[in-house]
Chains A and B, each alone.
Chain A
Amino acid sequence: MARTRPIMPAWFHRLGSPKGFYSMTTPWLPWLAAASLVLLIGGAVWGLGFAPADAKQGNSFRIIYIHVPSAFLALAGYYVMAVAGAIGLIWRMKLSFVAMKAAAPLGAALTLISLVTGALWGKPTWGTYWVWDARITSMLVLFFLYLGVIALHYAYTNGEAAGKAAAVLALVGTANIPIIYKSVDWWYTLHQPATIKLTEAPSMHPSMFQPLLVMIAGFYCLYALVLILNIRAEILHRERGSHWVVELARSRRS
């Protein structure tokens, strides 16, 4: 009898099922937590104490080490949320709406960090906490899009209907992303142009740039950790009637 080779590897199917995802990600958590802790603490100490101060902005420049990574992840996180929503709408994969819901509060928190640190950086640098310029306003719109996705999940008691409505909002809101990216080029603005571009060498000195890379890596690890933790909590909630979740609750205390 001929054995047919599976089209997709086994881990792909495990990742798609709530139980498979839960058991597969359990060993990842301590590694992600350790990596985020080491990178974020190391990067922050490096950026706060050991990177040189900016020639023009002085020490307020050190806010860049949390402002840029959080803004980076706020934008990347929107893609995660919108793509998960699209997969849920098109292929109805069980976990995709769970991932979309998990990405919303995480993205909102990161957007809030970038807005607050931006304001605190703006005061000593521009003389004002807030200006209604293109970059800042479009980031505020991003924050409200995240809040909208969160609110829609509270508005529906039916999880499936909430998922569909939130996915549509997330996809429509994707139009805001290129506006955020290009806002510093399209409009005259107080906000400085992008520090890191994929197509060009960084405009920063390596002694300032290296700690920034460490912090970005740290924020990426923390993003992955919190996203997985949010998905796992949501799985426990949605699958609370299944045998494996009840068994898990009775057996393990971790």
Chain B
Amino acid sequence: MSFQFDSLTAFYTMGGHGPFVWLSYLFTLMVLVWLVASPLLRARRLRAALARRRPGAGHHRSAEEKES
């Protein structure tokens, strides 16, 4: 197993297929990062809203807990 390209430039251009290959990987990376980040951010929002709630407020829902 060895590096398949003669130079870094050849690696970027990929014999003319570079834009297609790199755009594919970039798009995938962005979607995957969004997939991981969105539930983490949602959980953090929910926890923060619950932590702000007065102790003993019971089951009352405050405005900031309402999210889609």
Contact = CB atoms under 8 A, between A and B. Distances in A.
Interface of A: 33, 40, 44, 48-53, 58-60, 62-63, 66-67, 70, 105-106, 109, 112-113, 116-117, 120-121, 123-124, 154, 207, 222, 225-226, 229-230, 232-233, 236-237, 240-241, 245-246, 248-250
Nearest to B47: A249
Contacts of A58: 14-17
23 contacts: A48-B25, A49-B4, A58-B15, A58-B16, A60-B14, A60-B21, A62-B14, A62-B21, A66-B25, A106-B35, A113-B28, A117-B24, A117-B27, A120-B23, A121-B20, A123-B20, A229-B36, A229-B40, A229-B43, A232-B39, A236-B47, A240-B46, A249-B51
Interface of B: 1-5, 11, 14-18, 20-21, 23-25, 27-28, 31-32, 34-36, 38-40, 42-43, 46-51, 53, 59, 61, 65, 67-68
Given A233-B43, A236-B43, A70 B28 contact: yes
Contacts of A226: 35-36, 39
Contact of A124 (B5, B16, B28): B16
A233 B15 CA distance: 45
Given A226-B36, A236-B43, A109 B20 contact: no
B35 A63 contact: no
The 9 A-B residue pairs whose C-beta atoms are closest, nearest first, are A249-B50, A59-B14, A229-B39, A60-B17, A241-B59, A59-B17, A249-B47, A233-B39, A117-B24
Nearest to B5: A49
Contacts of B50: 236, 240, 245-246, 249-250
